A and B are shown apart, each in its own frame.
Chain A
Amino acid sequence: MAFLEIENLQKTFGDLRVVRDFNLNVEQGEFISFLGPSGCGKTTTLRMVAGFETPTAGSIRIGGKDVVNVKPNQRNIGMVFQSYALFPNLTVAQNVTFGLKVAGRDKATIDTRLKEMLTMIGLPDLGERYPFQLSGGQQQRVALARALAPAPQVLLLDEPLSALDAQIRVSLRSEIRAIQQKLGITTVYVTHDQEEALSMSDRIVVMHRGIADQIGTPVEIYNHPATRFVANFVGTLNQIEATVADPERGVVEVAGQSLALERKLSHPKGASVALAFRPQALHMGKGEGEIPVRGRISEVQFLGAVIRLKVDVGEASISLDAFNRAGAELPVTGSELTLSIAPSDILVLGD
């Protein structure tokens, strides 16, 4: 039995169905990300777990106990908001110990816990400051400490890094993950940033229009997207329309070229499918055991370490990244070239 179980969860606002049929089991100590575009229902789902929204239907169980009718202040959950939401009239120390104080803990416990928390977030000396005297990154650390101080059973974070500068975002990302792993706390992390989700999570839930499109490890999500939406949303993806020529041997045709995918296809002969692959799966020249594809360079983008090429293959345009090696010549726009890709790197997406 999983620690946090969400079953057939639904939420409608008037006519608007924001969460449609959401199912998820989170194991104890797991770090789960909700990843999806803005407006897909991530926050709403999280707020139902926190207790700020009442589900239209479905159940939420924490540690086997149904919490749908439990008030937020009885759920023993920690939450971190995008806007920090620190209490502006309280010092850092008072903010962090807020949960312990309302729970009526004794002073000694509170003081020890405060020290522990401030050290954990790397701000041991800032206890007496007010929130307005802190930078955004510091404020969000304090908010994290405040959420963790009462030792909640679940930690919820709603786009906690979106309001911060790019640099702090990256460093705080690994800090949050480290703290989570150290405490072993079950965590749900909402983000629309795929890099964040891929780098931090044990598993990712890719959400799309109120449904969990795919649930899997970062590697599964990235390498084996289950739907077109997931494939498109996570990472850059090349897609070419192809026609199935021989499903048994896995041969498809693209712009007059036959490509052997070396696996059985479930689609009938003549069906049109989309071939999808990451830019970095392609490389220039021929390779052993790989599929050659001919095309014409339409654009060369020099990005420093990487050179991004756009190559026309028939009607389709695909992009690939080549490393910029000293001494290597820059490819020229308009020239013909042969690209190669390993058959296993090509995904065949149905409709």
Chain B
Amino acid sequence: MSKVWAWGALIFGVVYFMLPLIGMTEFSLSMRRGVYSFDAYAAVLADPQFQATFAYSVVMALATIIFGILLVVPTAYWVRLKMPEARPYVEFITLLPLVIPAIVVVFGYIRLYNTSSWLPLTGSVMGTNILLMFGYAMLSLPYMYRSIDTGLRTIDIATLTEAAMSLGAGWVTILARVILPNVLASVLSGAFLTFAIVIGEFTIAALLDRPAFGPYMQILGANRAYEPAALAVIAFGITWACMGLIGLVSRFSRYTQVKR
């Protein structure tokens, strides 16, 4: 039957994807000679550097998510409600981070916001942290915007807004109490994706010289044998969890949301 090629393609793909996953798992368990052990994981988890950089990246991810929501939800809402003519432009800008390599943008950051510039963000630790967060927000903008905009499309924001306004709600109340809860699933999807991107991000953090998880992994990889494999397994687990949560959220919202 002609199904043979289909099975062939599928099996080829499955083998290609499984081998590195098996390889890294096996390697991460092989720190002790001759037997499988969790030594590599223990070593990684006990490393104060790991704890510090991981915590740093988690905090950065959360800050990025909060900033992203505060930036994107009102913007996407406003474009849909009041400025449909601005839509192509806004969409174009949100797609730019996929076109311009991140390394180029961060190059610009370093030159534009150095100590002698009008906005010397890289002059202080806090300033650099904020710059890094903006960089992450830029990186996740395409995903955040697409996700939230899709969510807004499924609800009738004009009617919701009018109804809320007729009850005396202001803009902040409308956004926080009416719009946000209605697009929560899409916001969460965008948030989990942002988390997956930010947690292991390397380029921007390394070039801004921040002690994030991505650069830590790279340094560890250059100096150790088994710990990097353990880190890869952990990172894969985090990515998987984020994607799983996205799937869960969208499935859940399918049942709770009323179709227009």
A and B: direct contact (Cβ < 8 Å)? no
Q: Which residues of A contact B (CB under 8 A)?
A: none
B residues apposed to A, CB below 8 Å: none
